[in-house]
């Protein structure tokens, strides 16, 4: 179980940075950005394995905002195995995951199921349209969530519910909102850079 992926080798002892594209993107969407945000990191960018009318995704859905939960479970297990394999390959002791839209959703689901895999999580416009079970393993995990107040794909009330859930698990949550919709704005990347800063240690 693996993905086609772009890989940028990092320095010895550097973090592993996973980037995950949105619907219709490819592994190239955030790959170069990864090295800009975390210079020297091992950057690994998988390509989604689901084709939705010619648009790549990481899991299936049956409608806008309606997930195929069985396929999400499949994809979550696959992403967890992929991250574990990349950790073993690189020897990285810190893992950062960054995703947009569908990419954010698969990374969020993976962190819910395997909270020990990811140390810092950057989620641009995630949509979690179900009520997750408690996951105390997320306690202390740094999470950035960015969103648009008028996002038609990720409604603000659902984003706020997810933020409240994260905080209830003890995650260290930063949120950044803009006045627009589903578009990714420069200030969101700035918020990511602010969260990342110099890698700890």
**What are the residue numbers of the active site?**
101, 151, 182
Tell me how far CA of residue 127 lies from CA of 35, 63, 92, 113, 117, in angstroms.
26, 13, 29, 16, 21
Burial of 129 (0-12, 13-18, 19+ CB in 10 A): middle
* Residue among 93, 5, 75 nearest 43 (CA): 5
Q: Find the farthest-apart pair of alpha carbons in the chain and give their distance in angstroms, rounded.
A: 44
Token output for 67: 């997930």
- Give kind and range of the element (H or E) at residue 144: strand 142-148
Q: Please report where in the chains the tokens 């009520």 appear, as a residue.
A: 131
CA within 13 Å, CB half, 32? 2
């Amino acid at each position: 179980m693996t993905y086609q992926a772009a890989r940028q080798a990092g320095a010895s002892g550097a973090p592993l940075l996973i980037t995950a594209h949105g619907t219709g993107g490819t592994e190239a969407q955030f790959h170069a950005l990864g090295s800009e945000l975390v210079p020297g990191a091992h950057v690994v960018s998988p390509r989604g394995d689901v084709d939705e009318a010619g648009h790549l995704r990481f899991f299936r859905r049956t409608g806008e905002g309606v997930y195929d939960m069985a396929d999400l479970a499949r994809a979550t297990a696959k992403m967890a195995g992929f991250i574990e394999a990349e950790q073993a390959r690189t020897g990285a002791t810190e893992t950062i995951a960054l995703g947009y839209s569908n990419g954010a959703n698969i990374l969020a689901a993976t962190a819910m199921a395997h909270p020990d895999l990811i140390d810092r999580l950057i989620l641009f416009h995630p949509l979690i349209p179900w009520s997750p079970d408690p996951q105390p393993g997320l306690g202390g995990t740094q999470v950035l969530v960015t969103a648009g107040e008028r996002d038609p794909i990720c409604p603000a009330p659902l984003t706020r519910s997810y933020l409240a859930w994260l905080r209830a698990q003890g995650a260290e949550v930063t949120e950044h909102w803009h006045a627009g919709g589903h578009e990714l704005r420069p200030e969101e990347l700035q918020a990511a850079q602010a969260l990342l800063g110099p890698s700890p240690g």
